[in-house]
Chain A
Amino acid sequence: MSTTLERPPAPAAPAPRRRAGLIDWITTTDHKRIGILYIATTFTFFLAGGVIAMVMRTELAAPGRIVSKQVYNELFNIHGTTMVFLFIAPIGLGLANYFLPLQVGAPDMAFPRLNALSYWLFLAGGLTIYLSFLAPQGAPATGWTFYSPLSTQTPGAGPDMWIMGILLTSVSSIMTAVNLMATTFLLRAPGMTMWRLSLFCWNMIVTSLMILVAFPPLAAVLSMVFIDRHFGGHFFDATHGGSVVLYQHLFWWFGHPEVYIMILPYFGIVTDIIPVFSRKPVFGYAGFVFASLAIAGLSMSVWAHHMFTTGAVLNPWFSAMSFLIAVPTGIKFFNWIGTMWGGKISFSTPMLFSLGFMLNFLLGGITGVMLASAPIDFNAQDTYFVVAHMHYVLGGGSLFGIFAAVYYWWPKVTGFRLHERIGKVFFWILMAGFNLTFFPMFQLGLRGMQRRVADYPANVGWTFLNRLATLGAYLMAVAVLVFLFDVVRSIRRRVSAGDDPWDGYTLEWVTSSPPPEHNFDWLPPIRSERPAFDWHHRNDPASALYGRGGLEASSSP
């Protein structure tokens, strides 16, 4: 074939785009705009949840009280609810909204209007949850896990608003999962086989699968609580033949896949970033895919490790499955190390955050293996040891993965750059603050400090560690302010980033920054999991396009 595969010249003087107005944003079905809406909204919820955390940490810095117990108990619920339901999971879906169609070479998601509905349901759900603060008896002081009988017995509209908000966000997530899977299975560009997908895309498929399995039972169990609350139900009422433990089974059947839903997108993003900044392909692509699938399967068999202390479940099974799930997670670490090995690593901000992700998540994972042992859990359950573990995986892991994604993809979404030096300052302050906040909590838990208490005695030796944790939390707040400064500065200065500032591998880097409305004017031939690299380096033997006839090797781009 003698067809040239040159990129056609850019269209002459593209029609000027008028700036999108409010109506455009409200009615958009463009996955990129919806992705931006998700990211902006979830980040705002993050800030709200973070302010709540600052109040909590200020309260806990020393014995004695600054806020009332009732307020504290409402705050720790909304903090957890915000971070889990309104930030970590949905921002991953927002990033996938923007980048999955781009990475598979599609012009949009499979169901654009369903996509828009997803976002607005999400926003409605989040606002409903926050409006519960205005209910006469306040937000539900039940914990984000909402255990019955306490949640059934808590009076007022707060718990009901919380239930409604979660039901709305659950439906939103289920719709997005359907959309992501349909887009990946049906709208891939020619040449984009499943085994050439980016690992972010693979992990989003697996995340979507877990969403489909996990969220319907969550909707069911919260509806059952609602029926117990208002329609004379006794599902979880032991005095009328109900089962208290049933709530926990149904909740954690959702809850455990949920934590993998909250990490897998960021495993994927980090696995897109590390190869680019190591100048090598990812090591062990197939192993990574199988590990993600294994995590999805095993995640559905471990749920009752949250129930080891109930005395009502078969601890050995759940312990064994929980140990096993550490193996595929560990394999990913070797994928990343193998990718860096022999590479030429540059420590731009996305790579720094990816390294921080690895170092932090490792400690979270190791302590997770400790908690998988039921007799160890008999001591550690419901103490600050668990709080430390979960924040290392969610904060040290997912949060760092989120900032890696932001620094990596900001140029593509906006067309201009974030500042490298400010980004590095942000990284180091966050790394220091994060570890200062949560590392002492391991020791606090082993010293017996239980979770969800507004105050503690002065004579039990917990004060110093709590002070350290609060200091770390304030440092994290400073870090986030540095990040916000970087964002505002970047928007005001608009230093152009170009189409491909990082010499990236995946398809989003062949199109303009930001992409045109239909994503691609043109696609290169896709012959590996690194289509952008292959095209941009087609003179190099390392490219899958090297030696192909018909490519004008010396012409742009």
Chain B
Amino acid sequence: MGNLYHLFFYVAIGVGVLVYGLIIWSAIRYRRRRTDTGELPRQFRYQVPLEITYTAIPVLIVVGLMVATFRTEQRVNRLVPQPAVVVNVTGFQWQWRFDYPASGVSVVGTPTKASTMVVPVGQTVRINLVARDVIHSFYVPDFLFKRDAIPGITNRFDLLVPTAGTFRGECAEYCGLNHGDMDFSVKAVAPAQFQQWLAAQSSGASG
């Protein structure tokens, strides 16, 4: 995913330098001088080989960007056959609920206490994302990823967090008055710690 960003960034810089350069160069180089005699400059209207070239090259560039995009999206959207953990995520006005069906554990956010989704590091977590009332969006900026929670649709995606840490999460689809207060966290911990946490939750500690 990072490689895609780099590709786009460098292509953008290249195209930008070229086109900004041409605009600024021609504005300066071909400005009317104070000593101008008023004669008209050469009045050319077209140059077909140039026009074909500056149509074909951008097409080639975007085809390259398309191919890189498709490959990346396939990787990002891939669902493994056997995820290690399944979490059912429900967005509602205005917090999140995380259900771990295999262990019967539930974490529900409240207006005063944001919810935290605990997951094991380095293991694939399957998210089944739904919405209860209006459209929300499950967004973790550090994962460079979001997916909408839409009433009537279950969106499935896999998360694989490579390093331990606590990552900020937000709702990224305007959902009414407290849309900006629907923050949550994703906390990735070592697998053993994750099992301990699950056990502690289901043995009665408030979830």
Contact = CB atoms under 8 A, between A and B. Distances in A.
Contacts of A218: none
Contact of B153 (A245, A280, A326): A245
Interface string A421-450: 000000000000000000000000001101
B1 A375 contact: yes
A309 B69 CA distance: 15
A242 B134 CA distance: 13
B66 A279 contact: no
B23 A374 contact: no
Given A311-B153, A331-B55, A448-B168, A542 B32 contact: no
A369 B65 contact: yes
B177 A70 contact: yes
Given A143-B174, A315-B73, A238 B151 contact: yes
A355 interface: yes
A343 interface: yes
A366 to B, nearest CB: 5
Contacts of B8: 369-370, 373, 376
B44 A280 contact: yes
Interface centre among A149, A242, A333 (most CB of B within 10 A): A149
B174 A451 contact: yes
A359 interface: yes
Given A309-B146, A312-B153, A379-B141, A344 B4 contact: no
A471 interface: no
B32 A378 contact: no
Interface stretch (B34-42, B104-112, B115-123, B195-203): B34-42
Contacts of B133: 149, 153
B23 A316 contact: no
A542 B43 contact: yes
A416 to B, nearest CB: 25
Nearest to B45: A281
Contacts of A337: 19, 22-23, 26
Contacts of A280: 40-44
Given A333-B19, A345-B31, A451-B174, A376 B4 contact: yes
B32 A344 contact: yes
Contacts of B155: 310-311
A323 B172 contact: no
B150 A362 contact: no
A324 B150 contact: no
Given A330-B58, A366-B12, A450 B43 contact: no
Interface centre among A70, A331, A344, A460 (most CB of B within 10 A): A344
A337 B137 CA distance: 42
Contacts of B134: 147, 149-150, 153
B172 to A, nearest CB: 4
A69 B176 CA distance: 10
A198 B19 CA distance: 25
A454 interface: yes
Interface in B9-51: 12, 15-16, 19-20, 22-23, 26-27, 30-32, 36, 40-47, 50-51
Interface in B152-176: 152-153, 155, 157, 168, 170-176
A343 B20 contact: no
Contacts of A451: 172, 174
B146 A69 contact: no
Interface in B73-129: 73, 76
A286 interface: yes
A372 to B, nearest CB: 8
A382 B148 CA distance: 11
Contact of A362 (B16, B43, B46, B175): B16
Contacts of A120: none
Nearest to A277: B32
A283 B170 contact: no
Contact of B179 (A153, A340, A370, A453): A453
Contacts of A450: 139, 170-172, 180
B188 interface: no
Contact of A238 (B4, B68, B152): B152
A359 B55 contact: no
A334 interface: yes
Contact of B175 (A150, A282, A316, A381): A150
B59 A327 contact: yes
A244 interface: yes
B30 A373 contact: no
B15 A366 contact: yes
A147 B5 CA distance: 30
A12 to B, nearest CB: 34
Nearest to A337: B22
Given A147-B173, A244-B150, A333-B19, 6 more contacts: A69-B180, A323-B65, A323-B69, A345-B32, A376-B5, A450-B139
7 contacts: A149-B133, A280-B43, A281-B44, A310-B148, A333-B19, A378-B145, A453-B179
Task: Pick the 10 closest A-B CB pairs, nearest first.
Answer: A238-B152, A448-B141, A453-B180, A323-B62, A379-B144, A452-B174, A382-B172, A344-B32, A340-B26, A311-B155
Interface of A: 69-70, 73, 141-143, 147, 149-150, 153-154, 238-239, 242-245, 278-287, 309-312, 315-316, 319-320, 323-324, 326-327, 330-331, 333-334, 336-338, 340-347, 355, 358-359, 362-363, 366-367, 369-370, 372-376, 378-379, 381-383, 447-448, 450-457, 460, 537, 540, 542
